[in-house]
């Protein structure tokens, strides 16, 4: 299955006297502890354990770092022979959070939610595909323990949906077969198994219980117990049956949601407040307000109307883009003068859940996912009850393709419906019930992945109170994924293969298409790992004709391990695509996969050449940036290949289907660009911590990467560098030379004390002198040219800092800066640096000169300025002088001297990069009275970390793979496809048909962006023009790349008429045509006979 180091059975862990784990060769080895929860009838033996000891899998230490490392505290051997007592609860002491591992998840949940997760014990009953997906997501999230319960044994049938099992596991208990491979996902989570009957009393050990394969009768019994338990136990019943799925949540009679959406509280910068009842509050138009009527807000920093600064939450109404009304009489308050921040107060919400017993007959409102299926949830509510009754009466599921069983299920559903009273449905949709019956026994991987994400997130909500729970029923179906052609009952018959469950839903013909598909997956990160697992289980590219190519130029980092579940800690530093491909092949050995490490782009078109693209059946994007997506989109558009697109952001995910000739392409609509803060705001007038962190990262890169790189560029070839600067002759060139000259002259460091001096003087420059200059140039009472106060919102008047070695923030910044400065100069760092007392003494030795503000200092205040450098009429003279000074500096340098530029790396907490950036940002925040942030929050913002969790990734890939069935089946209409936006935090699911492409018509022809006109036979320019003329089009301009091959307005272009188009491209456009290419593309501008411009498709001229 997944890559592993350990044998499956007979695992032994030994402990030495120092609590370190050794092998016979005294090397540290990772070992596995396995927890068995059995009764007297079981056949599992645990040796070398005292009777009162817990036997567990994973790290049960008090300080759980949640790193993917195993720690054990006893010797355990497992053999299948005798009894073992049932487990007791593990400890719930507070645990540390491994921020390197969980940084992306912390960006979604925050520390408090993570700590609650670390103390949560979860039961998952039913270890078919859905149970395995839920367990995977929760183990990656880092709950304290997961107990796997299943009394059944692995069947070949299970391999359609369960990534844990291999053919060697057939006949073993599902829970036992699951534990080791799930444990490898996160060895800090305790993974137990329970292969025997589950009792109600056992549920008391858990904060949340999930049932994926249980009758309604038993579910009602367990649910009643969970509701009556104190405190209540969160209960979730979920199942996937073919292309149908359901979830029911009951978190108890009263459940408090701490944070309903996970969004940061909205804020606004106040511009004015009226003395009225109600008061009108206006905010600056820097950013739109996100408040809603009824929100509670608090005020701070208000000058004049100080009564509002009492910290009391106040309700607002009439919320607008830049104003709102305050439900308060401010008539007798002080008059507003200036300043003020208004911040949303997020309120907890109490939900009162119904029991399953009650909700079955009175379900309330269903959570909708697809408004084109508005009537579907009540039908599925009935269908799942009918299936439960069918199974309880006959002891089996309906047989796929059996009309008799389908009619029996319809009859059961009809009887239940007739006795439903006011809830009776007018039409039970027999056609839908028939589809439901045929696939009822099957658990499909895409459905399991999708529901595994949804249910995994609901468990997190239950354990933490973070995000709004699903309240209470959710039903979903994807019957559009079924083949378009009717199938014969014989098509559904099992073939004694691992795909039998899938065949029972889609038939053997579609299975053959899946196996023979040639597929390209771009990216093998979080999305890529999930896609690989899904397609391996579905059998995609597993036939003789099939091939899957995956590419990713990245390597595995520790932070990947909390989501990219095909990777292990011992894979860190290895190529993602290679490791992921190997892991996918172990899930399904028949997978024909090739792993590449190439970035997909214009520079690799010799690797991903025309023939490569032409042979593809479908492309699946698993990318994390828009530019790469746009490039792949253009390739798919050009070669007319389906593109399945998806992305995640925290608890949100979206999918987009790009289908040739049916839908618009990915690049047809784009999100607006993110608003960037003006340069002058970042450098002189910050008013939030984001501005401070943007400035801090810019300074970090300038001081430690760009300047050392400039120094090296100069030293490598002084004359060439100097010539380039003279030729540039601008303010930027002058600034570069000034920085290089400073670095090699007065700021050059030879000892570590020099580095401390540099760092201390930088502190004085940044946080004292520059601020003194700013408030000297613009005093607090300064006015603009119109007479308005200069320091009005959103500007904040700053105060200079007075350095103190007793201030930990001051000292830590100087320490981080001096260490990194030493690194750039190759200076060794003494051991005493991290001793605060000794370091403070060294800092106090630095002589800090007095500062005198300049009268003629130029400070950029224009918000449209793109640079803080100011041009000067004597730039060229200054540049010449600086080059002369640099020559003198160079003569004083040691032979072969070079600096060591530092590239920012956010995910290494030992390198001091984030220490320096957080220090820079927080000291600047102090200057401007902006709230400071800790290093982790600074890392999120400055490191531009994209929040990510495994649940959203799993859901997105499951949805995409439901569309993959449609693509590979062929013949589906645009209305069969679905684009999705989902937010698991709310929860919200919004599915809709893709937008069709824009159609252009001319005479009796029509075309879309998907069309490409092809002209073969190596034509001349005249032949190309004539070919277009026959279509009623008069070409007046033909270009190749950025060069014009023909324009009707240029008389000399008529001399080109009898030249081959390809020869013109070589001669005029200097196009180099590689051997693997047989055509070139030209862009033609045309008019019709009435001189109307006509947008025609790209024209491909074939010359071979």
| Residues with catalytic function | 680
Q: At what angle do helices 430-438 and 376-394 cross, to 10 degrees?
A: 50
Question: First and final CA of the chain: distance in angstroms?
Answer: 47
Q: Which two tokens stand for residue 209?
A: 């219980």
Cβ atoms within 10 Å, residue 303: 14
Q: How far is CA 210 from CA 192, 235, 460, in A?
A: 15, 6, 12
Contacts of 822 (CB under 8 A, 6+ apart): 749, 752, 755, 828, 829
Please name which of 902, 932, 900 lies closest in space to residue 919, comparing C-alpha atoms. Answer: 932
Only one residue has tokens 């591992």, namely 101
Q: Is residue 12 left, alpha or beta, with left meaning phi > 0 and alpha meaning psi from -120 to 50?
A: beta
Q: Which two tokens stand for residue 228?
A: 């009556």
∠ CA 527-641-540, nearest 5°, is: 50
Rounded Cα distance between 1097 and 200, Å, is 67
Paired strand residues for 370: 991
Please name which of 193, 190, 180, 146 lies closest in space to residue 44, comparing C-alpha atoms. Answer: 193
Chain mean position to CA 431: 39
Q: Which two tokens stand for residue 132?
A: 């395995």
At 336, give phi and psi (nearest 5°).
-65, 135
Burial class (CB in 10 A: 0-12, 13-18, 19+), 1098: middle
Please say whether the beta carbons of 132 and 451 come within 8 A.
no
Rounded Cα distance between 584 and 443, Å, is 20
Radius of gyration of the chain (CA): 34
Please name which of 367, 515, 375 lies closest in space to residue 454, comparing C-alpha atoms. Answer: 367
Rounded Cα distance between 365 and 378, Å, is 10
- β-sheet with 593-596: strand ranges across: 593-596, 547-551, 518-522, 618-621, 643-649, 652-658, 979-983, 988-992
Q: Tell me the residue ranges of DSSP E strands in 274-397.
A: 279-283, 296-300, 314-317, 323-326, 341-345, 349-351
Q: Tell me the residue ranges of DSSP E strands in 201-278.
A: 208-211, 234-241, 244-250, 255-257, 267-273
Only one residue has tokens 């014989």, namely 490
In this structure, the chain runs to a length of 1104
Peptide bond into 856 cis (omega under 30): no
Please say whether the beta carbons of 920 and 701 come within 8 A.
no
Please say whether the beta carbons of 512 and 491 come within 8 A.
no
Rounded Cα distance between 486 and 401, Å, is 11
Rounded Cα distance between 208 and 205, Å, is 9
Burial class (CB in 10 A: 0-12, 13-18, 19+), 304: middle
Give the sign of the dihedral formed by CA 448, CA 449, CA 454, CA 458. Answer: positive
Q: At what angle do helices 707-716 and 875-891 cross, to 10 degrees?
A: 70
Burial class (CB in 10 A: 0-12, 13-18, 19+), 187: buried
Checking DSSP bridges between strand 323-326 and strand 279-283, what pairing results, if any? antiparallel
Rounded Cα distance between 996 and 604, Å, is 31
């Amino acid at each position: 299955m997944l890559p592993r180091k350990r044998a499956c059975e007979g695992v032994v862990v030994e402990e030495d006297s120092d609590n370190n784990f050794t092998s016979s060769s005294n090397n540290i080895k990772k070992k596995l502890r396995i927890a068995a929860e059995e009764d007297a009838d079981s056949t599992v033996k645990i040796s070398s354990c005292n009777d009162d000891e817990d036997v567990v899998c994973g790290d049960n230490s008090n300080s759980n770092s949640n790193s993917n490392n195993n720690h054990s505290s006893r010797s355990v051997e497992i053999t299948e022979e005798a009894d073992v007592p049932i487990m007791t609860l593990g400890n719930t002491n507070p645990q540390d959070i491994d921020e390197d591992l969980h940084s992306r998840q912390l960006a979604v949940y925050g520390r408090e939610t993570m700590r609650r997760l670390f103390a949560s014990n979860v039961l998952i009953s039913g270890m078919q595909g859905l149970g395995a997906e839920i367990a995977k997501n929760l183990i990656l999230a880092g709950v304290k323990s997961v107990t796997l319960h299943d009394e059944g044994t692995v069947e070949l049938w299970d391999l359609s949906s369960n990534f844990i099992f291999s053919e060697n596991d057939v006949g073993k208990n599902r829970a036992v077969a699951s534990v080791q491979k799930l444990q490898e996902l996160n060895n800090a989570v305790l993974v137990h198994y329970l292969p025997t009957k589950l009792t109600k009393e056992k549920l008391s050990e858990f904060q949340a219980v999930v049932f994926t394969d249980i009758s309604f009768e038993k579910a009602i019994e367990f649910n009643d117990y969970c509701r009556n338990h104190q405190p209540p136990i969160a209960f979730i019943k979920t199942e996937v049956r073919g292309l149908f799925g359901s979830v029911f949540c009951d978190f108890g009679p009263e459940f408090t949601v701490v944070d309903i959406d996970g969004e940061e509280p909205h804020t606004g910068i106040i511009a004015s407040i009226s003395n009225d009842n109600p008061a009108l509050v206006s905010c600056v138009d820097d950013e739109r307000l996100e408040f809603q009527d009824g929100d509670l807000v608090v005020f701070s920093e208000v000058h004049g109307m100080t009564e509002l600064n009492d910290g009391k939450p106040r309700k607002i109404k009439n919320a607008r883009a830049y104003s709102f009304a305050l439900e308060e009489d401010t008539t007798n308050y002080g008059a507003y003068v200036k300043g003020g921040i208004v911040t949303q107060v997020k309120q907890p919400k109490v939900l009162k859940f119904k029991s399953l017993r009650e909700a079955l007959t009175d379900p309330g409102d269903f959570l909708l996912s697809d408004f084109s299926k508005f009537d579907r949830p009540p039908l599925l509510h009935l269908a799942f009850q009918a299936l439960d009754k069918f199974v309880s009466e006959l002891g089996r599921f309906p047989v796929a393709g059996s009309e008799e069983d389908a009619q029996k299920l319809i009859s059961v559903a009809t009887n239940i419906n007739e006795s439903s009273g006011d809830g009776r449905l007018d039409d039970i949709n027999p056609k839908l019930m028939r589809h439901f019956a045929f696939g009822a026994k099957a658990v499909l991987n895409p459905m399991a992945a999708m529901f595994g994400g949804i249910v995994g997130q609901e468990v997190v909500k239950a354990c933490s109170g973070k995000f709004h729970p699903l309240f209470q029923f959710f039903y979903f179906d994807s019957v559009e994924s079924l083949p378009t052609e009717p199938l014969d009952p014989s098509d559904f018959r099992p073939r004694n293969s691992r795909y039998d469950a899938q065949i029972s839903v889609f038939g053997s013909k579609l299975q053959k298409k899946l196996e023979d598909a040639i597929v390209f997956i771009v990216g093998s990160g979080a999305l890529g790992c999930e896609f690989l697992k899904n397609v391996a289980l579905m059998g995609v590219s597993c036939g003789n004709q099939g091939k899957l190519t995956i590419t990713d130029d990245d390597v595995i980092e520790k932070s990947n391990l909390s989501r990219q579940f095909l990777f292990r800690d011992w894979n860190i530093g290895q190529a993602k695509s290679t490791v992921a491909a190997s892991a996918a092949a172990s899930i399904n050995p028949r997978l024909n996969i090739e792993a590449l490490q190439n970035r997909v782009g214009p520079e690799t078109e010799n690797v991903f050449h025309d023939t490569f693209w032409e042979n593809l059946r479908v492309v699946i994007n698993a990318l994390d940036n828009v530019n790469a997506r746009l490039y792949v989109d253009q390739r798919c558009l050009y070669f007319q290949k389906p593109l399945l697109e998806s992305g995640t952001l925290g608890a949100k995910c979206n999918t987009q289907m790009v289908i040739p000739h049916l839908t618009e392409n990915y690049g047809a609509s784009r999100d607006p660009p993110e608003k960037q803060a003006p340069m002058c705001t970042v450098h002189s007038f910050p008013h939030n911590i984001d501005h401070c962190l943007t400035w801090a990262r810019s300074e970090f890169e300038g001081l430690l990467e760009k300047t050392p790189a400039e120094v090296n560029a100069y030293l490598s070839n002084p004359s060439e560098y100097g010539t380039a600067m003279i030729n540039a002759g601008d303010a930027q060139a002058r600034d570069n030379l000034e920085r290089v000259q400073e670095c090699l002259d007065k700021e050059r460091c030879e000892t570590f004390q020099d580095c401390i001096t540099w760092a201390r003087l930088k502190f004085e420059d940044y946080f004292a002198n520059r601020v003194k200059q700013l408030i000297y140039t613009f005093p607090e009472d300064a006015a603009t040219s119109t007479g308005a106060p200069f320091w009005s919102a959103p500007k904040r008047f700053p105060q200079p800092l007075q350095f103190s070695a007793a201030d930990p923030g001051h000292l830590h910044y100087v320490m981080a800066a001096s260490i990194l400065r030493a690194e750039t100069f190759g200076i060794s760092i003494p051991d005493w640096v991290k001793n605060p007392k000794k370091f403070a003494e060294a800092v106090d030795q630095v002589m800090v000169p007095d500062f005198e503000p300049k009268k003629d200092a130029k400070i950029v205040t224009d918000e449209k300025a793109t640079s803080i450098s100011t041009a000067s009429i004597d730039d060229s003279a200054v540049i010449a002088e600086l080059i002369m000074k640099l020559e003198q500096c160079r003569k004083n340098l040691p032979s072969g001297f070079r600096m060591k530029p530092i590239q920012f790396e956010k995910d290494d907490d030992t390198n001091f990069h984030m220490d320096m950036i957080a220090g820079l940002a927080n000291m600047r925040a102090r200057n401007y009275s902006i709230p400071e942030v800790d290093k982790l929050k600074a890392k999120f913002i400055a490191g531009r970390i994209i929040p990510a969790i495994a649940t959203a990734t799993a859901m997105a890939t499951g949805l995409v793979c439901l569309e993959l069935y449609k693509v590979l089946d062929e013949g589906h209409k645009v209305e069969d496809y679905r684009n999705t936006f989902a937010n698991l935090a709310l929860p919200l699911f919004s599915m809709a048909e893709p937008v069709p492409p824009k159609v252009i018509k001319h005479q009796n022809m029509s075309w879309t962006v998907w069309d490409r006109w092809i002209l073969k036979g190596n034509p001349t320019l005249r032949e190309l023009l004539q070919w277009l003329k026959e279509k009623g089009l008069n070409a007046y301009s033909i270009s190749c790349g950025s060069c014009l091959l023909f324009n009707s307005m240029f008389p000399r272009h008529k001399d080109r008429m009898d030249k081959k188009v390809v020869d013109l491209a070589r001669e005029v456009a200097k196009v180099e045509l590689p051997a693997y290419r047989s055509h070139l593309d030209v862009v033609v501008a045309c008019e019709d006979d009435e001189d109307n411009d006509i947008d025609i498709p790209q024209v491909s001229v074939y010359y071979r």
